[in-house]
A = this chain, B = another copy of it.
Amino acid sequence: MTVSLATTMPLRGVRELPPNDQVQGFYLLTKIETRPKKSGEPFLIVELQDHSGKLDGKMWENFEAALETLKAGDPVFVDGRVDRYQNIPGLVLNALRKATEQEVPDRRSFLPHSSLSSAQADEQLAHLINTIEHPQLRALLDSIFGDKTLRKQFLEAPGGKAWHHAAVGGLAEHTLSMAALADLVAAHYPQLHRDLLLAGTLLHDLGKVVEFTLEPAIDYTSEGRLLGHITQGALLIDKMIRENCPDLSAEMRKQLLHIVLSHQGDPSKGSPIKPMTLEALALHYLDELDSRMSAFEQVRARTPESQDFSDYQRLMERFFYFRAPEGDDQPE
């Protein structure tokens, strides 16, 4: 039997099915191990993942073949029924086997994806680069985003591991949203150097293409942890300037690198340098704004609709409040 991935039930949906519903589909296997039953005999425990989340599964018998042939990271076909234990949903599996390359041509389909498609992002990026009039900045952007590998990495990379834009394509979504804002803001404050601000925006998080990996899930690379995307971005941009843009002035290089280094605003937030130019200051606040807007929506999406407040958000040391300002407005 071949089930196309598109018709597979998302795991978020599976969580909400009533007990005993049947489920069939393709998922990523992220853990596989055995544990003893009360009787002492083993049973199989697996963790499954798709773009909508994760779920555990148990297989009580006939799992020997699966255990021998499967390992974490494999795409699998699953046939089971919904189960709840201590109110936590799971699956009891009847069948579990490795999926074929035809069935699952790309394992990245199991990761969360930005709502901005790669094609849309690609087009927006091309359009924005086209608006840059400063010849050397334009040449630098052309050289960086004209590198096919780099452009592909940029369009696929996540914006973060867990907090904001934590999805395939999240880096591009965040960058392009900020760039559209930067355009508006540069018109509002004419003293801003529009092309520098735009170029800085497009490049500020470039280091994330090497800070993160998508295999088998969104996570830091060891180079990402040891060097950080800010320095990685500066190294990459400096290399491209040296190799491809000999005409970019020392002053422009300095101010562009300064923007990249300072965009998180403060040493306590990971930037070795504070923003000291007008463009670096503006970019920092646009980055804050766009990342918080995204984080707020991500938290809202995983909060049950019945809650007015999110759970406590440790990273921002606060709750978020979701009630519409004009609702039925009953007295508390």
Contacts and interface: CB of A to CB of B under 8 A. Distances in A.
Contact of A321 (B193, B234, B276): B276
B289 A185 contact: yes
Interface in A80-101: 83-87
A325 B196 contact: yes
B325 A35 contact: no
Contacts of A83: 36
A332 interface: yes
Interface residues of A, number: 86
A102 interface: no
B274 A272 contact: no
Copies in the complex: 6
Interface stretch (A55-63, A120-128, A156-164, A292-300): A292-300
Interface string A255-296: 111100100000111111111111101100110110011001
B251 A329 contact: yes
Interface string A65-89: 0000000000000000001111100
Contact of A257 (B227, B281, B285): B227
17 contacts: A19-B36, A35-B84, A36-B84, A134-B326, A181-B188, A189-B293, A222-B309, A223-B250, A225-B276, A226-B254, A228-B272, A250-B332, A251-B329, A256-B325, A272-B272, A276-B320, A286-B289
Interface of A: 19-20, 33, 35-36, 40, 83-87, 134, 177, 180-181, 184-185, 188-189, 191, 193, 196, 213, 221-223, 225-228, 230-231, 234-235, 238-239, 242, 249-252, 254-258, 261, 267-279, 281-282, 285-286, 288-289, 292-293, 296-297, 308-309, 316-321, 323-327, 329, 331-332
